[in-house]
């Protein structure tokens, strides 16, 4: 048995070496700019603006020195990029690293699961393991590893022919095709999952991603529609927020990208690596927006981000609190009743949201966290709106709610625990909300 798992570990390690490195060779396309022609003028313009700010007293000497170092660092990076590629590309390495980590965990789970479902359990016999070792004393080559992965995928595909309504099977097949770069096949698999799952936000985002990869990494068209639908179902779906931010960046709508990155920043732990990646993306988008305003890129998509979101993003990058005086918001504290404590686990998902009193059920603002955070202070504001027409700033009153979901779904399910307030005016603070009922 021990020998078997040693062999399994070796095979999985080899498979990871086969599938992970290609992820770092290709990233999503972004706005193409001739940096070699403009980086010197950019440096001079930025330095001139900075010196003017220093002379006017808008920045301190310390801020001036720090900003000058940042400009010089960026100039060196631009020059290196121009030498190597001749054009600028948005650096989203954080996503590639995250993907590789997910694969490092998911691929072993996938392989072991596939083995127990369709593998030869007799192979666990020590005598059989010895025979395998004798037959292949030097292990498998990379080509054989690839062949084995293809065989596993083929076995899963055969099972799905017998049970085509197996949503999880189609999703697993789609992700497997994505890992090995068979994007057209991944589109087919996720399309089948979508056919049976409908508006499941995770299926929608995976389907959109596969469509984009199969279409030259472009998120325009149907992928954008699927991602927007995913956010209607789950306003804090992290993959949808990430991909939409990427899509708007590709368009050259840097303020639109900032809005989605900012929403994603709020959805991840503040001191996590994901938060650091989002702050870096916001900072990059802010820089590109300033260059766009100076006319360096020619004709790009118009800016769609709200002034409030941009101000908040700038504050997040600077590490200071964003001004909130002009914002429409509701704040308070949510807790769980003692009678329901034995019905939840610390890792159950907690949604805190505000919705219009007279309007669609879609939340105007939402926070996603865990039961372990209860009791929890909250603040819901207009910067969390999924679309301009569904902002808290457009309504006089809202209902504030909190709901605990074991499944983690943004849509209410029977058996969820919830608490709802009476209609409250925009600007209300100190609201006390208790989760004290069960969704029928």
Q: What is the pLDDT of residue 61?
A: 74
Q: What is the pLDDT of residue 349?
A: 92
Residue range 319-358, pLDDT digits in tens:
654 444 456 889 999 999 999 999 999 999 999 999 988 7
Could you tell me how many residues make up the chain? 440
Highest mean pLDDT range out of 35-39, 236-240, 300-304, 305-309?
Answer: 236-240
The proportion of the chain whose per-residue pLDDT surpasses 90, expressed as a percent, equals 24
State the average pLDDT over residues 27-53. Answer: 52
Q: What is the pLDDT of residue 268?
A: 83
Q: What is the pLDDT of residue 424?
A: 93
Per-residue confidence at 419, pLDDT binned at 50, 70, 90? very high
Non-local (6+) Cβ contacts of 339 within 8 A are 436
Residue range 357-411, pLDDT digits in tens:
877 777 888 898 999 999 999 999 887 776 666 778 888 889 999 999 988 877 7
Residue range 180-202, pLDDT digits in tens:
788 898 899 999 999 888 888 89
Gap between the Cα atoms of 34 and 376, Å rounded: 49
Helix extents (H) in 136-219: 142-162, 167-179, 183-197, 201-214
Between residues 176 and 30, which one has the greater pLDDT? 176
**DSSP 8-state code for residue 383:** G
Between residues 296 and 415, which one has the greater pLDDT? 415
Q: What is the pLDDT of residue 331?
A: 93
Q: How many CB atoms lie under 10 A from the CB of residue 415? A: 13
Judge whether 314 and 414 are in contact, CB under 8 Å.
Answer: no
Q: Is the pLDDT of residue 71 over 60?
A: yes
Q: What is the pLDDT of residue 378?
A: 92
State the average pLDDT over residues 239-244. Answer: 92
Per-residue confidence at 128, pLDDT binned at 50, 70, 90? very low
Q: What is the pLDDT of residue 76?
A: 55
Q: Is the pLDDT of residue 140 over 60?
A: no
Per-residue confidence at 85, pLDDT binned at 50, 70, 90? very low
> Long-range contacts of range 373-378, CB-CB < 8 Å, 24 or more positions apart?
374/334, 374/335, 374/336, 374/350, 374/435, 375/333, 375/334, 375/335, 375/336, 376/333, 376/334, 376/335, 376/350, 376/352, 377/331, 377/332, 377/333, 378/331, 378/332, 378/333, 378/334, 378/352
State the average pLDDT over residues 22-33. Answer: 43
- Asked whether the bond before 375 is cis by omega within 30 degrees of 0, the reply is yes
Q: How far is CA 394 from the centre of its chain?
A: 28
**Strand-pair partners of 404:** 350, 417
Judge whether 317 and 282 are in contact, CB under 8 Å.
Answer: yes
Q: How much is the mean pLDDT over the chain?
A: 74
């Amino acid at each position: 048995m021990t020998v078997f798992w040693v062999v399994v570990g070796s095979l999985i390690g080899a498979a990871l070496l086969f599938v992970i490195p290609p992820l770092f060779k290709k990233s999503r396309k972004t706005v193409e700019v001739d940096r070699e022609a403009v980086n010197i003028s950019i440096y001079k313009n930025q330095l001139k603006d900075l010196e003017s700010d220093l002379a006017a007293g808008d920045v301190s000497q310390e801020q001036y020195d720090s900003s000058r170092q940042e400009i010089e660092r960026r100039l060196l990076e631009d020059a290196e990029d121009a030498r190597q590629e001749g054009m600028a590309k948005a650096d989203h390495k954080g996503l590639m690293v995250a993907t590789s980590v997910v694969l490092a965990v998911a691929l072993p789970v996938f392989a072991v699961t596939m083995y127990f479902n369709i593998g030869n359990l007799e192979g666990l016999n020590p005598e059989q393991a010895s025979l395998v070792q004798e037959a292949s004393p030097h292990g498998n080559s990379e080509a054989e590893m690839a062949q084995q992965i293809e065989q596993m995928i083929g076995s899963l595909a055969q099972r799905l022919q017998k049970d085509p309504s197996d949503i999880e099977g189609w999703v697993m097949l789609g992700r497997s095709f994505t890992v090995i770069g068979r994007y057209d096949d991944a589109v087919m698999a996720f399309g089948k999952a979508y056919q049976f799952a409908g508006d499941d936000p995770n299926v929608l985002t995976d389907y959109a991603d596969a469509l984009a990869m199969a279409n030259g990494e472009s998120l325009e068209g149907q992928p954008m529609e699927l991602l927007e639908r995913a956010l209607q179902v789950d306003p804090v779906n992290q993959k949808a927020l990430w991909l939409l931010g990427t899509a708007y960046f590709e368009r050259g709508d840097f303020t639109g990208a900032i809005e989605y990155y900012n929403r994603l920043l709020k959805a991840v732990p503040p001191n996590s690596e994901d938060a650091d990646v989002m702050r870096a993306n916001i900072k990059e988008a802010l820089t590109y927006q300033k260059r766009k305003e100076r006319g360096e890129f020619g004709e790009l998509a118009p800016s769609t981000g709200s002034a409030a979101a941009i101000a908040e993003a700038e504050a997040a990058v600077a590490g200071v609190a964003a001004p909130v005086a002009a914002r429409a918001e509701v704040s308070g504290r949510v807790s769980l009743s003692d009678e329901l404590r034995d019905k939840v686990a610390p890792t159950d998902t907690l949604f805190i949201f505000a919705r219009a009193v007279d309007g669609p059920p879609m939340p105007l603002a939402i926070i996603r966290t865990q039961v372990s955070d209860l009791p929890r202070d909250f603040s819901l504001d207009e910067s969390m709106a999924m679309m301009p027409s569904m902002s808290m700033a457009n309504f006089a009153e809202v209902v504030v709610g909190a709901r605990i979901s074991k499944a983690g779904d943004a849509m209410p399910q029977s058996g969820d625990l919830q608490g709802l307030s009476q209609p409250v005016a925009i600007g209300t603070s100190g609201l006390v909300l208790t989760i004290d009922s069960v969704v029928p």
